């Protein structure tokens, strides 16, 4: 079954990611709303396509089925080529609070033009913003991951999302093992947000701030996610 997109999505003009400081004469874009209630959770299925304009806002409504659950989030494309960490952190925060700007989060994360150095910085900022110390940094140094690491990752996904906490994953995507739309001839070092799962299909719902190939919200197999995280880690 195909995903249903609310009418607001069709009203948004498709655009390209603008560089910081680029003038944009259009008024502030409306909030597009995506309903994944009728979803195709096959791995690699993009629920939103071509939504790449910097500053545009997209909300995914929360929902569940007999085997799946996903959280309400506010999605944004990353506003620079190296702000995937701030953008993924912002998406995770949006499930629980009004998130700050990507620029504010970049400053708090210590993000430079080389990116966000370690997922532990994401963990620190998530806890500082939300309080309570929910998030922990989970390292996955083994490539391929051990069965214990895979089991912990799946447990963390289900446990956290059931309690309204998205995860932020630091991934390494080499040629031959990449999410949909990624540049096939490059190894991509990246952050994205995990905000849903389907226990029957063993898939996870990704909010990807890079918008590679126009893929922003998509399902990914859990098995592939588990191979993308090593030797990095995730916040859960």
Domain regions of the chain by residue span: 4-16+29-235
CATH node for 4-16+29-235:
3.90.70.10
Tell whether the model's pLDDT for residue 174 goes beyond 70.
Answer: yes
| Residue 46, SS3 per DSSP | strand
DSSP assignment of 165-193 equals --EEEEEEE-TTS--TT--TTS-EEEEEE
Mean pLDDT of 102-116: 98
Closest by alpha carbon to 108, among 133, 127, 132? 127
Query: What pLDDT score does 6 carry?
Result: 29
**Per-residue pLDDT tens over the stretch 47-95:** 554 455 555 568 899 999 999 999 999 999 999 999 999 999 999 999 9
Mean pLDDT of 5-11: 26
**pLDDT class of 33 with cuts at 50, 70, 90:** low
Alpha-carbon distances, residue 69 vs 84, 157, 170, 214 (angstroms):
24, 11, 22, 24
Question: What order do you get walking across the sheet with 73-75 strand by strand?
Answer: 4-5, 31-35, 57-60, 73-75
Please say whether the beta carbons of 219 and 45 come within 8 A.
Answer: yes
**pLDDT class of 36 with cuts at 50, 70, 90:** low
Query: What pLDDT score does 152 carry?
Result: 98
Query: What pLDDT score does 100 carry?
Result: 97
- Work out the percent of the chain whose per-residue pLDDT is above 70: 76
Please say whether the beta carbons of 140 and 232 come within 8 A.
Answer: yes
Instruction: Look up the pTM and report it.
Output: 0.83
Please say whether the beta carbons of 155 and 147 come within 8 A.
Answer: no
Assigned token pair, 141? 């140094």
| Burial zone of 127 (CB within 10 Å; 0-12 exposed, 13-18 middle, 19+ buried) | middle
Residue 34 CA to residue 47 CA, distance in Å, equals: 8
DSSP assignment of 97-163 equals S----HHHHHHHHT-BTTB---HHHHHHHHHHHH-TT---EEE--SSSPPHHHHHHHHHHHHHHHHT
- Work out the percent of the chain whose per-residue pLDDT is above 90: 72
Mean pLDDT of 169-173: 98
């Amino acid at each position: 079954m195909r995903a249903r997109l609310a009418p607001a999505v069709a009203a948004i003009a498709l655009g390209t990611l603008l560089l910081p400081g680029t003038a944009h004469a259009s008024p502030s874009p409306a909030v597009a709303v995506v309903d994944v209630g009728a979803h195709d959770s096959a791995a690699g299925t993009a629920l939103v396509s071509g939504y790449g304009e910097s500053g545009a806002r997209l909300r995914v409504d929360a929902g569940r089925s007999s085997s799946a659950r996903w959280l309400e989030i506010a999605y944004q494309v990353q506003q620079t080529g190296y702000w995937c960490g701030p953008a993924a952190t912002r998406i995770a925060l949006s499930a629980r609070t009004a998130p700050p700007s990507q620029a504010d989060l970049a400053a708090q994360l210590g993000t430079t033009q080389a990116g966000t150095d370690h997922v532990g910085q994401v963990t620190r900022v998530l806890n500082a913003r939300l309080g309570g110390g929910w998030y922990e940094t989970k390292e996955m140094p083994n490539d391929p991951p051990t069965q214990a690491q895979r089991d912990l990752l799946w447990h963390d996904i289900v446990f956290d999302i059931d309690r309204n906490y998205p995860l932020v994953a630091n991934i390494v995507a080499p040629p031959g093992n990449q999410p949909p739309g990624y540049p096939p001839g490059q190894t991509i070092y990246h952050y994205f947000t995990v905000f849903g799962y389907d226990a029957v299909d063993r898939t996870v719902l990704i909010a990807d701030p890079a918008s590679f190939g126009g893929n922003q919200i998509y399902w990914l197999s859990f098995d592939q996610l588990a191979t993308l995280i090593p030797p990095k880690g995730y916040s859960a």
